């Protein structure tokens, strides 16, 4: 069975290019993650790793869509190999059914990791320069929900749970607790 794996870093990014490729290759099942590739803690990747069986082939558009560092890539491919599953990356023309493919996998994984490190380094340098020039101020803060103070008061008095308070205000946990702490200390 051909198993496709697609990953983009954010919800906003488009998966169409990867979907078209996998459709052209007639994959039987596709798993899609919209999450960073910085580690292997991705729900659909985990589900795919549990799903695959001996004789299956996992196909990805490129190594960077599967793993961002050499260690993770080789670990994932090894887990697939233990299950009797092959790995194919179309962009790099890697096929682990051959010794050359296995060797090339290692080389390309190292190159992909190096490229990612260069991107992060350039990003840090660009941000540092922008900060020096006063052009980088970071992400704009979310506006304070109108009902925030009343919701925090209800939460503080135990009338609602923190989860309910977050749902009512539309804030994520870190933002909710940080703003609640500021509100309660004023």
pLDDT given for residue 110 in this prediction: 80
Q: Does a structural domain hold residue 8?
A: yes
- Domain housing 164: 148-185
* 56 and 113 assigned to the same domain: yes
pLDDT in tens, 91-150: 888 888 788 888 887 787 787 778 888 988 999 999 899 889 988 877 777 788 888 989
Asked about 9 being catalytic, the answer comes back as yes
Averaged confidence pLDDT in the chain: 88
Alpha-helix residue ranges (DSSP H) falling in 92-138? 99-132
Number of domains in the chain: 2
Q: Which residue among the candidates 9, 26, 62, 185 is catalytic per the annotation?
A: 9
Q: Apex CA 104: angle with CA 100 and CA 106, to 5°?
A: 125
User: What does the block give as tokens for 6?
Assistant: 């697609």
Percent of the chain's residues with pLDDT above 70: 99
> Of the candidates 117, 135, 160, which is a domain's last residue?
117
Rounded to whole angstroms, how far apart are CA atoms 130 and 110? 30
pTM above 0.85, yes or no: no
The model's confidence at residue 33, banded by pLDDT at 50, 70 and 90, is very high
* 83 and 172 assigned to the same domain: no
Q: How far apart are the first and last CA of the chain?
A: 61
pLDDT given for residue 137 in this prediction: 77
pLDDT given for residue 46 in this prediction: 95
């Amino acid at each position: 069975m051909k198993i496709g794996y697609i990953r983009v870093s954010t919800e906003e990014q488009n998966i169409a290019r990867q979907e078209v490729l996998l459709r052209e290759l007639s994959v039987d099942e596709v798993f899609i993650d919209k999450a960073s590739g910085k580690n292997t803690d991705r729900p659909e990747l985990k589900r795919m790793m549990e799903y695959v069986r001996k004789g299956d082939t996992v196909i990805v558009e490129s190594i960077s869509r599967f793993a961002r560092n050499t260690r993770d890539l080789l670990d994932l491919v090894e887990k697939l190999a233990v299950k009797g599953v092959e790995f194919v990356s179309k962009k790099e023309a890697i096929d682990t059914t051959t010794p050359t493919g296995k060797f090339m996998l290692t080389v390309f994984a190292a190159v992909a990791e190096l490229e990612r490190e260069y991107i992060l380094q350039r990003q840090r340098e660009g941000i540092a320069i922008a900060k020096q020039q006063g052009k980088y101020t970071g992400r704009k803060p979310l506006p304070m929900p109108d009902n925030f103070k009343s919701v925090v008061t209800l939460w503080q008095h135990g009338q609602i749970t923190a989860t309910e308070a977050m749902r009512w205000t539309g804030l994520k946990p870190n933002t909710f607790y940080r703003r609640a702490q500021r509100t309660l200390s004023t």
